[in-house]
Structure 1
Amino acid sequence: MSWLDYLVIVVYIGGFLWLGQRLKAHASGTQYFLGDRSFGWFVLSLSAAATQLSSASFISAPAFVGAKAAGGLVWLTYEFAVPLAMIFLIVAFFPTLYGAGVVSIYAFLEQRFARSTRLLLSAVFQLSRAFATRVC
């Protein structure tokens, strides 16, 4: 990489750090994650579903289906199941989470059970994602 590439990277990172520092005092977690509760639970759930079903999913799924030896159709069934799972989650969990006024499932678990429950499940999630990333 040339010095110009490094300059672009430094300016990009610096710009985002500056922007975050400038805007951090203007929004709470509820304002940022829940739109200051000006939207209903269904609109927010569609945002979460869109995040899960990103363009990377649509680009990478055919590659896994076509390139995975002796298992491509199994992967394809997982990809078809994601929208169905999102519909289930939207209907089953989002109204409860929205009504509880929390910004994440971990905040709900802390509110419902205890801080130790939130910390334990957060750690389990982080470890499972780390191992899943390593396997793929």
Structure 2
Amino acid sequence: MRPVDVVEGVRAYLDAVDAGTREIVSPCPGAANLRDVVELAMEKKIRRKGRLGSGVEYSIHGVGCLFVGVNGAEADVDVDFFDDGARVFDVWRLSMFFETSGGGISPGSERIQESCAELIDRGVLQSRGRWYTADIS
């Protein structure tokens, strides 16, 4: 078994969230971002669950959305309703993405945190306590 490149895995998670977000936002009238889509679901103006044109399934929950790729990879993300509406995620969500996106193995919380720290140093991620966010559309 080849070692997991955790930094690339985090980038793959960000790509999955970005693609899912773009695809779920585009058909929703008046929605500019995932926060707007979650609010529309809360107001029962759109369905909470469905399949996007790419085949990705989505499930809007409490304050976020779970995207399940056609390969079974789960990219779960929350929306910060108290601040700027940024999409936020934590080590647990990244771990679930690793487990579902190939091989069923997570590199472990410590390696994920180290990789997130590296991506913070590179300016790719920002830290919000135990949460992370990135400049993704």
TM-score between both structures, scaled by the size of structure 1:
0.26
Higher helix share: 1
Q: Larger Rg: 1 or 2?
A: 1
Instruction: Report which structure shows greater RCO (CA 8 Å, sep ≥6).
Output: 2
